[in-house]
Amino acid sequence: MTMPRTRPFVQVDVFSTSPYSGNPVAVVLDGTDLSDEEMQRVARWTNLSETTFLLPPTVPEADYRVRIFTPGGELPFAGHPTLGSARAWLDGGGTPRDDGRIVQECAVGLVAVRRGEGALAFAAPPRVREGALDEDQLRWIVGAFGITRDRVVAHQWVDNGPGWAVVQLATAEEVLALEPDFSLAPTAMVGAIGAYGDGSRHAFELRTFAPGAGVPEDPACGSMNAAVGQWLTSTGGAPSSYRVSQGTRLGRAASIEITADPDGTVWVSGAADVCIRGAITL
C-alpha cells in the first residue's frame, strides 16, 4: 500500500460536442506506485464505465502508458478511454514526441492517436477474434435481447481485447427498442447495430452492453465502434466513412466518426473535452 498523496485528476467527456452528453472517463494523471487493487478500488468508486491511470511509458516509441479499469476489472484496450486519456495528457501539459500524433502504450501494444479540428482519433488495433458467432452463442444473445433469431441480419466477433460480439438488426429503431434482460447472459460483452434511413445525420445506431465488465450499457464505446468499423468497411457493409449515433436510450448524444484509409486502417474520431479538473488523494 502506498502512502497517500495528492494526484491530478480530471474527467473528460468523450464523443459529444454538447457538454455532458457523451461518455465520461475519469483519468488519474499520475498512477505511479499504485497497486492493482488501489486502481480497481478507484474504478469501482467512480462507477463510470472506465477509469484510467497514466504512467511513464516502458518503450521509447510511446508518449505515455495507460491502464484501463471498469468497475469489474481491467481491460487491455478501450476506445473512449484512449481518447479521454490522450486529451487529459495533453491538457496536463504533455508534449508528444511526434507533433502529428500521440502514441499511447497499453496492454494491447501501441495505439496511435491523431489530432484533428476539435476532435481526436485513434487507429483501431487489430482484432484478436473475428468471424461469425456460433449458433449457441447467437441464441444466448438473442434470448437476452428478447428477440427472435430471424431479426438478426448479420453477426460477428469484433473482439479487440474486451471480448466483443455484435449483432446487426435491420433498423436503428429496432436497436433502440431493445429491452435486454442480462440475467439471462450475465457475462455478455455484446453490441447491437442498425441502420438509419437515407438522409439521416448518422448511418447507424449502436448500443453496447457489457454486464461481463460490470457495465450494463456503455453510453459510447470506441473499442466496439473500432472493430465494427473494421468489419463493416472491409465487407462492404458500410462506406469508408460514416457516422454512428450512440447513447440515445441513456439520454446521451454521442457521435462517432469512422474512417477507413485505403490501406485498411480504421480511425475512430470524436470530441474529447475536459469537464472536471481537480485532485484525488491516493
Contact 112, 259 (CB under 8 A): no
Cα separation, 123 vs 18, in Å, equals: 24
Give the homologous superfamily in CATH for domain 129-263.
Answer: Diaminopimelate Epimerase; Chain A, domain 1 (3.10.310.10)
Contact 94, 54 (CB under 8 A): no
What percentage of residues in the chain have a pLDDT greater than 70? 99
Q: What is the pLDDT of residue 100?
A: 81
pLDDT at 118 over 90: no
Contact 142, 180 (CB under 8 A): no
Give this prediction's pTM: 0.95
pLDDT at 1 over 90: no
Of 37, 38, 50, 174, the catalytic one is: 50
Domain with CATH 3.10.310.10 in the chain: 6-126+270-281, 129-263
Mean pLDDT of the region 141-150: 98
Beta bridge partners of 193: 168, 206
Contact 63, 57 (CB under 8 A): yes
pLDDT at 190 over 70: yes
Cα separation, 256 vs 90, in Å, equals: 21
Verify whether residue 50 is a known catalytic residue.
yes
Domain 6-126+270-281: state its class. alpha beta
Contact 166, 158 (CB under 8 A): yes
Taking the CA atoms of residue 48, residue 125, residue 180 and residue 74 in that order, the dihedral angle to the nearest 10 degrees is -40
pLDDT tens track for 220-234: 999 999 999 999 999
Beta bridge partners of 9: 28, 278
